[in-house]
Amino acid sequence: MEKIPVSLDSDALRSFVLGIERGSFALAAQQLCRSTSAVSAQLKKLEQQCGMALVTKRGRHLVPTEGGELLLSYARRLIALNDEAWRAVRGELLQGDVRIGMQEDFGESLMPGILGPFSRQHPGVRISARVDRNQPLLQAMADKSLDMALLWQGDDLPAQSQLLGQTALTWIGAESLDIADVLRQGESLPLVMFEAPCLMRARAIAALEQAGISWRVVFTSHSLSGIWAAVQAGLGVTLRSHIGLPGYLSPLNAPLPSPGHMGIALLQHQPENATQQMLSQLTRHAVTGFLQSS
C-alpha cells in the first residue's frame, strides 16, 4: 500500500516564507504576532516533515538550502491557494480596482509573473498597469492616480517605501564594441543613457569619474527599448541590472569600475485594502524569487 504523504503545516509554511522574505525569522515572528521561539519551533517541525534542513546560516542571516529554495516556490503557491479558498468560503472573493505602476526594467520581466497569476486568482478585480520611469511613477503616486508602484530605490523615495531587495548593476554593451581598446587609446567612453534625471545615469557617471575614466553621452532615449536598440547597434555602453536584460545582450567583460547595487522598493498608499494587500504580497514574492534565482 502506497504511503500517504505528510500534510505540510500551512502555518509553518507561512512562517518559513515570511522569514526568508524578511531575512529574519524574528521579524517574521513580529509580523505574525508570535514569539520568535514559536516560529523557530514551526521551522523545526517543517524540517522534520520534509526530512531535511531548509535553512542555513550565511553571515548573520539564514538563507534557504537547495531543498529550502525548492520548497519556497511551492509554499508560496500553497499559501496563496489557502488564502483564496479561505476568502471564497467566507464570501470574500476580491472585487474592485487596483492601479499598479512599474519601472521600465520590471515591466517585461516581472509584470507578467505578477499580474497573470493575480488576475486568474481574482477575476473580479480590474487591474490597471502602467510602465514608466521612476519620476513619472512617483508623481502618479503623489497624485494618487496609482495605488502602488515598483521602483528603483533612490534618495527621493518617500519614507514609507519598502525595500524588497538589491540587485547588482552591470555595464552592458555589444560584443562589437572593444571597450578595452577604447580605454587603451585614451578615448572617452561612449555612453547610452536615459535623459537626466536618471538614477542609473548618475551612478554610471559617478563610478567613471571616481575611476578617472573620461566619458561622453553619445545617445539619449526616453524609453528603455531605445536604450537597448542603441546598445545593440554598438553606439556605446549603458548601465542597468540583469532584470529585463534582453537575451541578445549580455554584461560586458571589460575593465570598468564596479557600479555597485541598486535597491528595489515597493511604494503604496496606506492603509491597504484587501486587494492591495494581495497584489503587494504577490509583488514581493516575485521580486524576492527573481533576486534569489539571479
Structural domains in the chain, sorted by start = 10-90 (1.10.10.10), 96-293 (3.40.190.290)
Q: Which three cell numbers stand for residue 273?
A: 485594502
Cβ 110 vs Cβ 150: under 8 Å: yes
Question: Which pTM does this prediction carry?
Answer: 0.67
Above pLDDT 70, what percent of the chain? 95
Instruction: Say how far apart CA 21 and CA 152 lie, in whole Å.
Output: 18
Question: Mapping DSSP to helix (H, G, I), strand (E, B) and coil, where does residue 65 land?
Answer: coil
Q: What is the mean pLDDT of residues 39-53?
A: 87
Q: What is the mean pLDDT of residues 100-105?
A: 90
SS3 track for 143-209? CCCCCEEEEECCCCCCCCCEEEEEEEEEEEECCCCCHHHHHHCCCCEEEEEECCCCHHHHHHHHHHH
Higher pLDDT, 159 or 127: 127
The pLDDT value recorded for residue 2 is 60
The pLDDT value recorded for residue 92 is 57
User: Residue 270 — very low, low, confident or very high, per pLDDT cuts 50/70/90?
Assistant: confident
Terminal C-alpha separation, the chain: 42
Instruction: Say how far apart CA 41 and CA 44 lie, in whole Å.
Output: 5
Closest CA to 75 of 31, 86, 67: 67
In the predicted model, is pLDDT for residue 239 greater than 90?
yes
